[in-house]
Amino acid sequence: MKNQILRHLLFWLACILQNTLLEYAWIHSTLSYRADIIYMAIAFNLALLPSKILFTYFALYILDRDIIRERKRTLYIVLKAGAGLFIAIVLHRIGSVYYIHRMEFPDEAVSYKHLFIIPWMLVSLLDIGYGAGLAVALRLFRMKMVNLKTEKDLVKDKLETELKFLKTQINPHFLFNTLNNIYALTRKKSDKAPEIIIRLSKLLRFMLYETSKPSIPIAEELLILDDYLHIEKIRYHHIKLSFEKQVDDYTQPIGPLILLPFIENAFKHGTGGTNGDFWITIKLALQNGQLEFNVTNSCVNQENEKIKENIGLANVRRQLELMYKEFTLVVGSLEHCFCVDLRINLFSNKRYSNNRQIT
């Protein structure tokens, strides 16, 4: 409320200043011999101000309600606007004839007939219409800006909800695969099952407390990758696994669980559910915020498989679209292997950019 009152006061002060300057220029050109020109210019504006204020707020709060909120008929609105404008013009003419004209020409007689001189009524119409039109335009502009901000906030909330939904899809998918690993080991009565359970508990703790964050240091993401790889190596003890890391800054923020689905996909589709001879090569390079992540795995029954993105890869692609402005993701098949190549400009995180612009 205070801000609204302040805006209105500033608007009318600006109008008075502008009109006073115009009145001063006009009076100075016709009555240059008068010593009180500035006083006359201010007095003239104050005399005409009530008619302008009356019609301006009539347009802002009464006609606006009829047009937008109550949706009255057009004829009714036109008649109502015409009546309000006529009353404002008459008030404007009263101030002009009985105050301003008498100050300028005190010896000349005036009567009510002077109120309805058509050319001067048109001048009053222009004077009143200018102030009211400017006020309405400013209000429409402000409403537009408020609507744009509201729309932006709604889009942001929608994207946040979608991102959380995608994460809830990935996490159970990962959990399901890991539980299958434990199940396979318990059936074999393997002594490695307790170790996997401990590793799994760390992963679950991470998913519970860390995935809700906009970003985490890449060092934490690498720890999760190491835990996951350790779990899978216990199950697939014949795997030929290579994980190369070249990181210049382990504190570099990255979206949580962005990299894990690619490795998970390599184990799921590269092993074929067997303990045969297979391999997975993982390369990660981070330099100056530019991340290059490559996962290549051996293919089982490649001739019967189609190159497609499963739920995990499709969801992580959507996460990348929501989080980063600059990234490329290429999924393809080479001879006897399947390859995923991901490149991200980690400085293009949309959340970071938006927050920086707001502050």
Q: Is residue 357 over pLDDT 50? A: no
pLDDT score for 247? 94
Please give the average per-residue pLDDT across 216-227, as a whole number: 90
- Cα–Cα distance list, 22 to 40, 48, 127, 131, 312 (Å): 12, 14, 12, 14, 69
Q: Is residue 254 over pLDDT 50? A: yes
Which of 1.10.3720.10, 3.30.70.20, 3.40.50.10420, 3.30.565.10 would CATH assign to domain 158-358? 3.30.565.10
Q: Is residue 109 over pLDDT 80? A: no
Q: In 10 A of CB 235, how many CB atoms? A: 20
How many residues does this entry show for the chain? 359
pLDDT score for 219? 93
Q: Decide: 346 and 253 in contact? Cβ < 8 Å.
A: yes
Distance from C-alpha of 180 to C-alpha of 273, rounded to nearest angstrom? 11
Could you tell me the residue ranges of all domains in the chain? 2-116, 158-358
pLDDT score for 343? 95
Distance from C-alpha of 261 to C-alpha of 172, rounded to nearest angstrom? 12
Distance from C-alpha of 293 to C-alpha of 304, rounded to nearest angstrom? 27
Task: Identify any residues that bridge with 338 across adjacent strands, giving them in sequence order.
Answer: 297, 333
Span 149-186, pLDDT tens digits:
877 766 666 666 655 655 555 556 556 766 776 777 77
Phi (first) and psi of residue 241, to 5 degrees: -115, 135
Span 15-34, pLDDT tens digits:
888 888 887 777 766 666 66
For residue 256, the Cα-to-chain-centroid distance in whole angstroms is 22
What is this structure's pTM?
0.54
Task: Identify any residues that bridge with 332 across adjacent strands, giving them in sequence order.
Answer: 339
Q: Decide: 138 and 228 in contact? Cβ < 8 Å.
A: no
Span 182-218, pLDDT tens digits:
777 777 777 777 877 887 788 777 777 776 777 889 9
Distance from C-alpha of 275 to C-alpha of 269, rounded to nearest angstrom? 13
* Cα Dmax for the chain: 117
Distance from C-alpha of 343 to C-alpha of 324, rounded to nearest angstrom? 11
CA-based nearest residue to 293, from 340, 257, 261, 256 = 340
Residue given tokens 């008649």 in the structure block: 79
Predicted confidence band at 303 (pLDDT cuts at 50, 70, 90)? very low
Q: Is residue 229 over pLDDT 70? A: yes
pLDDT averaged over every residue in the chain = 79
Residues 6+ apart with CB under 8 A from 24: 37, 38, 41
| Cβ contacts of 285-288, under 8 Å, gap ≥ 24 | 285/245, 285/246, 285/247, 286/218, 286/246, 286/247, 286/248, 286/249, 286/252, 286/346, 287/246, 287/248, 288/248
pLDDT score for 304? 43
pLDDT score for 255? 86
Span 66-90, pLDDT tens digits:
666 656 677 777 888 889 889 999 9
Positive or negative, the CA dihedral 120, 122, 126, 132 is positive
Predicted confidence band at 258 (pLDDT cuts at 50, 70, 90)? confident
